[in-house]
Structure 1
Amino acid sequence: AQVPLKPEDLWTAVATPPPPGPAIRALPTESYTPWVTRVLAYLIDNIPAGILIGIGAVIQALTTQQSCVSDITQYSVNQYCVNQPSGIGTMAFWLTWLAAVAYLVWDYGYRQGTTGSSIGKSVMKFKVVSEVTGQPIGFGMSVVRQIAHFVDSLICGLGYLFPLWDAKRQTLADKIMTTVCLPIEEG
């Protein structure tokens, strides 16, 4: 037989949130992704953006225009010249810069946020997950995590070195976002 609920019990049943998902238990330091692996993933992730910006810079450099002005006086003739990017070169640079930013938002935001791994992290076989749920943190929080890396830079880049001595190998941004980097289990 079912016991009828009192009004105060009904409120408790509705207002009580579900229990949190499985938390990542305290793992030994060796279980977290090493710092060197994280650095290599960062370099891999940024190669396409660097290439795109490099292409734009080369186009801009190859399409520079030179303007010269002559100054003729009674005693001398002087010529002053200036090089400046052409309109097409400037447009090419900014378009490739925007393409690089779009790639980085896709890689660090969408891809890493939904799967846990950016392209570089996939190559290096690790993922970024929430310390609380053990799941990828989603697009928005992944973008915020990248912005939080600004804090790593504030103290002369020292925040990026935290994984060298931290028990969970977290940067300051990881600590702020409560994320950890874990190897992808082969299976």
Structure 2
Amino acid sequence: MTSQPPPPPAGDFAQGVPSIAPVVTGGNYTPWFTRVLAYVIDSIPVYLLTAIGGVVLYIFQPTETLCVAEAFCATGRNGPSTTAWIIFSLCVLVAVAFTLWNFVVRQGNTGSSIGKQIMDFKVVGEQTQQPIGVGKSFLRQIAHGLDALICYIGFLFPLWDPKRQTIADKLLKTVCVPL
């Protein structure tokens, strides 16, 4: 009289207790800190160009002496020279062009800006898992304004969001995934 115990009922039961679905903790989405580091890397050329322009503005200020009367002469800086302003403007123009190319054109076509590529992740459409294109990438950058609107809280959303999305990501239905 050696009978086998009956097979377990259908479903995933462990000692009579139904199993609980696993908690999603970010799945295969890029962690927040990795995204922050990518942004810092992307910002380095922009800050360097702007700093170079600022240093040029500061250094190239002609010193002049103005005498009102023989007894009173004042010496001081008269502001940056025209050449300094031109150099500063060119530095800012190159920084803006780099930013548009990096965050709009490059990221739209490949899914990764330079910083994202270094940190090994990309921005893709939530449904398609493909790069989002130049137009949508441009709109995503504009939508990041909403992330900043309320004390930059939108940029913190990936810390608690299951898909680690910012407000801009939610609006444009994009996600950041590892390469």
Please give the TM-score of this superposition, normalised by the length of structure 1. 0.77
Unpaired runs of at least 5, structure 2: 1-23
User: How far 1:144 moved relative to its partner?
Assistant: 1.4
User: How far 1:83 moved relative to its partner?
Assistant: 3.4
User: How far 1:78 moved relative to its partner?
Assistant: 5.8
User: How far 1:135 moved relative to its partner?
Assistant: 0.9
Aligned to 1:61: 58
Q: Partners of 2:121 and 2:166 in 1: how far apart?
A: 15
Aligned to 1:15: none
Give the match's secondary structure for 1:85. coil
Matches within 5 A, 1:15-26: none
CA deviations over 1:64-86 (Å, ceiling 9, x no partner) = 1234433339xx73636343011
Percent identical across equivalent pairs? 50
Q: Partners of 2:78 and 2:142 in 1: how far apart?
A: 36
* AA aligned opposite 2:153: L
Aligned to 2:126: 131
Q: Partners of 2:35 and 2:42 in 1: how far apart?
A: 10
Aligned to 1:37: 34
Q: 1:79 aligns with which of 67, 71, 74?
A: 74
Q: 1:165 aligns with which of 139, 160, 164?
A: 160
Aligned to 1:70: 67
Flag the 1:177–1:121 CA change in 2: closer, same or farther, 3 A: same
Aligned residues: 156
* AA aligned opposite 1:143: F
Q: Partners of 1:80 and 1:88 in 2: how far apart?
A: 21
Maintained 8 Å contact 2:63/2:75: no
Aligned to 2:12: none
Deviates more, 1:110-119 or 1:81-90: 81-90
Q: Partners of 1:64 and 1:80 in 2: how far apart?
A: 13
Does the alignment pair 1:116 with 2:111?
yes
CA deviations over 1:116-163 (Å, ceiling 9, x no partner) = 000000000000001121111111111111111111111011111111
* AA aligned opposite 1:43: V
Unpaired runs of at least 5, structure 1: 1-26
User: How far 1:28 moved relative to its partner?
Assistant: 5.1
Give the match's secondary structure for 2:151. coil
Q: Partners of 1:34 and 1:54 in 2: how far apart?
A: 30
